[in-house]
Amino acid sequence: MSNSTNIKNKLRSVGLAPRKSLGQNFLSDDDVARKIVRLANCKPDDIGIEIGPGIGALTKHLAQAVRQVIAVEIDRNLIPLLQQELAGATNVTILQADALDVDYASLIREAGGDENTPVRVLGNLPYYITSLMIRRILESRINTQSVVLTVQLEVAERMAALPGDMSMLAVGVQVYGKAEMLMKLDPSVFYPQPDVDSAVVRIIPHGRVEHTSELFDLARAGFSQKRKQMRNTISAGLRMTKPDVDDLLASVNIDPTRRAETLSIPEWTHLAGAYVERGYGRANRSDNLTSDSDNNSEVAAPSTANSTEE
């Protein structure tokens, strides 16, 4: 029996089918699952956090590589199946929750760790929560060493883009760490098969970044109108006069005729620093420009990846 049929039968045995709305394309190739876990470079004393374990394809390998795994799955219907699959693994805690709402620092403490405990994060996520999830994890007070994500190929390429091809997604990820695309995955390694190729991306976090909210405000404004110059997009998006924008950009040596996709991460961070220094930061704004825009939910154009028959 093929692995796909095996997964299908397991789901059917408890009256379930993959849910498209939750991006449920389960990994059906055990060798690939092992390779993905290996890319996280886990050490025996690490704690592993898995976002969206599904029915445990990655979880069982992660459990062998670290001291403790915390697996956060939103779909309560999958939990009994997941428990059954992981019955032999005594170091896995399964939490039924939306991974966007979880307090990761508390989870690590409950698992016997603290803010210095090395943490490895793994996930195979629906594209629409990827960027926000990365932000949640990397802004938590936990010691994340690596984040290994399986996403659709196009999203992986955009996450790891270089200046010239940057997007809101690339900025949203690379502000927190170095992103590398490490492995392409054919649709055939999933059940059900998505319509497009996928890829594994690894993010290695760097130190904490200052003024991320303002940086994202600037980036959102910068990327809001494709192919327009920074002078125009920042002025329109953040309601600043063009001379003020020119002045701000000149203070960090950014030519105001450049476009947002050409800026590097150091340029975005310098720009955010200058923006705050000049009193434009969130703390000083009385308008509502920034009130509902903190989730950086960017972002990728809707696509058919991770789509399944419901």
Binding-site ranges for ligand SAM (CB under 6 A): 22-27, 51-54, 57-58, 72-75, 78, 98-100, 124, 126, 129, 306
Contacts of 303 (CB under 8 A, 6+ apart): 127, 152, 154, 155, 196
The DSSP secondary structure of 161-196, one letter per residue, reads --TTS--HHHHHHHTTEEEEEEEEE-GGGEESPPSS
The DSSP secondary structure of 5-19, one letter per residue, reads HHHHHHHHHTT----
**53 vs 222 by CB, closer to ligand SAM:** 53
152 DSSP β-pair partners: 198
From CA 294, how far away is CA 275, in angstroms rounded? 17
Nearest Cα to Cα of residue 99 among 124, 131, 133, 127: 133
CB of 90 to ligand SAM, least distance (A): 20
**173 vs 272 by CB, closer to ligand SAM:** 173
CB of 161 to ligand SAM, least distance (A): 23
CB of 293 to ligand SAM, least distance (A): 20
Q: Do 123 and 150 contact (CB within 8 A), yes or no?
A: yes
Amino acid identity of residue 272, one-letter, is A
Contacts of 164 (CB under 8 A, 6+ apart): 261, 262
**27 vs 199 by CB, closer to ligand SAM:** 27
**20 vs 258 by CB, closer to ligand SAM:** 20
From CA 270, how far away is CA 251, in angstroms rounded? 9
From CA 95, how far away is CA 79, in angstroms rounded? 9
CB of 78 to ligand SAM, least distance (A): 6
**25 vs 229 by CB, closer to ligand SAM:** 25
Q: How far is CA 209 from CA 61, 96, 174, in A?
A: 32, 31, 11
Q: In this chain, which residue has its C-beta nearest to ligand SAM?
A: 52
CB of 50 to ligand SAM, least distance (A): 7
Please work out, in degrees rounded to the nearest 5, the angle formed at the alpha carbon of residue 163 by the alpha carbons of 100 and 133: 5
Residue 300's Cβ-side half-sphere holds a number of Cα atoms within 13 Å equal to: 22
CB of 126 to ligand SAM, least distance (A): 5
CB of 176 to ligand SAM, least distance (A): 19
**37 vs 221 by CB, closer to ligand SAM:** 37
From CA 176, how far away is CA 173, in angstroms rounded? 6
**57 vs 219 by CB, closer to ligand SAM:** 57
CB of 141 to ligand SAM, least distance (A): 20
